[in-house]
Each structure stands twice: as C-alpha cells, then as structure tokens.
Amino acid sequence: MGPAMSADVGGGPAGSWKVTLPCTRAEAEAIDAGPELPLDPAPTLATSEEVLDDAEAWRLDAYFAQQPSAHAIAAIAALAPSAGAAPLVERLADEDWVTISQAGLAPLHVGRFFVHAGDETPPAGTRALRIAAGRAFGTGHHETTSGCLAMLDALERDGAAFASVVDIGTGTGLLAFAAAYLWPGAAIVATDIDPVAVDVTRENAAANGVEGIALVVADGTLDPAVVGPAPYELVIANILAGPLVSMAPELAAIAAPGATIVLAGLLETQRAAVVAAYQACGCALAEVDRRGDWSVLRLTAGAERFVPSGPFDPKGRDGWALDL
C-alpha cells in the first residue's frame, strides 16, 4: 500500500533516517494538516494506510536529514498517542525519499479526468489535473474521491447543468476543479475548515489554470461567504459520516429546490444513518455508488427549499477532509 498522502512540514535534502510508528486515520488527518513541531530542522512527515479502509490501521513515517535525537523521537511519538509502542528508528540508504513517498500515487483516470502527481502524459481527450500528495487530503486515489469524480462526470454526460456549486470540505480542491471543467461559467464556492487546505486549493488552482473559484475557510456553512451565494444547484460534501449527519440541516438549507447533493466519505455501514439525516430534511436518495466498503450518495433536494427549525448543532464536526 503506497502512501495515501504526505505532509511536508520540513524541507532540506533527502532524509537519511526514518522514524515509523502506527497511527489511526484521525491522527493521520491531524498530522497531514501540518502540525507545529518543536524541531529545527523539522522532519518531513508522511502518512499511509496499512490496511485498506481500516481507520485504525495507518502508519506515520518521519524522515530526518540526520540521526534524530531522543527529543525528536518523542515529538514524533506524541503525534500518534494510540501507537502504544516505541517508534521504529532506522537508517536509510542514500535514496530520494520524496520519490519513495510518492511511489504509491499512480496516475488515476476517471471519466474525462486524469489525476496525477508528477509529469505523466495524459491520455488524449482528458482533463489533466496535477494534484501532488501534500498538506491536504484529496489526491483522488481514495474510493470516495474517485467515486465523486465518476459521479460528477456521469451527471454532465446525462445532461445535468448547474449554475451554482458548493464544495464543502474541499481538501485539495480536486472536486471543485472538476465541477469548474464540467460546468464552465458556474459560480463555484469551495470551503474547508482547515486554512491549510484552502491554501493548498489556491496553489493547486493556479498550477492547473483553474480560475474563478471562491475559496472560504469555514466550519461547514457557518460563514456568510458560504450562505450568501446560496441556494446552490449542486452541493458536494466529501468528508466523513459524522460531519455529514451533523451538517444535514445546513447542507439542505443551502440547496436550491430540486438541487443535486453528492455526499461521500461514508462507509456502506454508515449509509442508512446519513440517508436518514437528509431524508429528515426533505431530500430523497437518487443513487448509490458503492466502492468496496465505501459509498457515494446522490440525493435530490425537496421541491421547496428546506428551512431549518432551529440553530445548527456544531457537534460531530471532528474529522474533515478524507480523500486520499
């Protein structure tokens, strides 16, 4: 299993030492957001899945340009308190660890999209999107993101047209970029609770020549810059089941009557709870794309715009961008 993504919180030449320990997906998400480490120079951190789709079976690798001190090892261990064991410290041969850390990110071809992390030549007729593994989730290689890409591509092929789009928990911006390509001229808002992710999206947009997307650091929809342009004809949220359930009234409230809502980041075992939360807000399930243990949902908003009965409950927000 290749690295799902990496967080470059340091720099310098190829590392010659590696500190490894197990972690959970939740810890990996926190690590990949770019933790502040009391180390100078800082190591480069990479997280990866040890067991596909197992939230408890992840790995943290920290690359150092020189032998790490006991203080440095302790700082790395503090990032993964679930490990319950001493980190593995090993001397590496003189290798390009950046190449090693990216090796698992083979180019991904989904519909009309070719997502890659390097200099690969895209197939004819595809829209290439260069999304390197970096400081935010969303390289497209996880079933949730590739499933969303496939669903968006199919929607456009079937004649769907959207003038307004919002991407909640945008991560690297990949799904917002896809929407901009499929529906040029649409007003698109991309949000994330993590300011690092928004910075990454801005960088990726410039690298891919994507213009006109409004980027907002926001907790769900709880920002005037997200609510102001509502209602949206297409709502995308690729996060996690807990936030999806918590945010059901928020997302339904910013959806236009009859809007398309694409939800991902949930396991098949969590589908019923997520669907029930949105049905309670007047939405109807239109399609399920099951990919392994994961499901991508397409729902249709009610014929009348949903009006919440009370203030939004911010509980359940922990754990945002999921795409690997």
Q: Is 84 annotated as a binding residue?
A: no
Residues 153, 174: Cα–Cα separation, whole Å: 13
Coil, helix or strand at residue 67: coil
Q: Is 192 annotated as a binding residue?
A: yes
What local confidence, expressed as pLDDT, does residue 123 receive? 80
Which among 141, 135, 146, 142 is positioned nearest to 203, based on CA atoms?
Answer: 135
Average pLDDT value for residue range 141-159? 87
Average pLDDT value for residue range 64-79? 89
Average pLDDT value for residue range 71-99? 80
Confidence grade of residue 316 (pLDDT, cut at 50, 70, 90): low
Identify whether the C-beta of residue 271 lies closer than 8 Å to the C-beta of residue 288.
yes
What pTM value is reported for the model? 0.69
Tokens of 268: 């098949």
Confidence grade of residue 32 (pLDDT, cut at 50, 70, 90): low
Q: How far is CA 151 from the centre of its chain?
A: 16
Amino acid at 300: T
Question: Does 98 score more than 90 pLDDT?
Answer: no
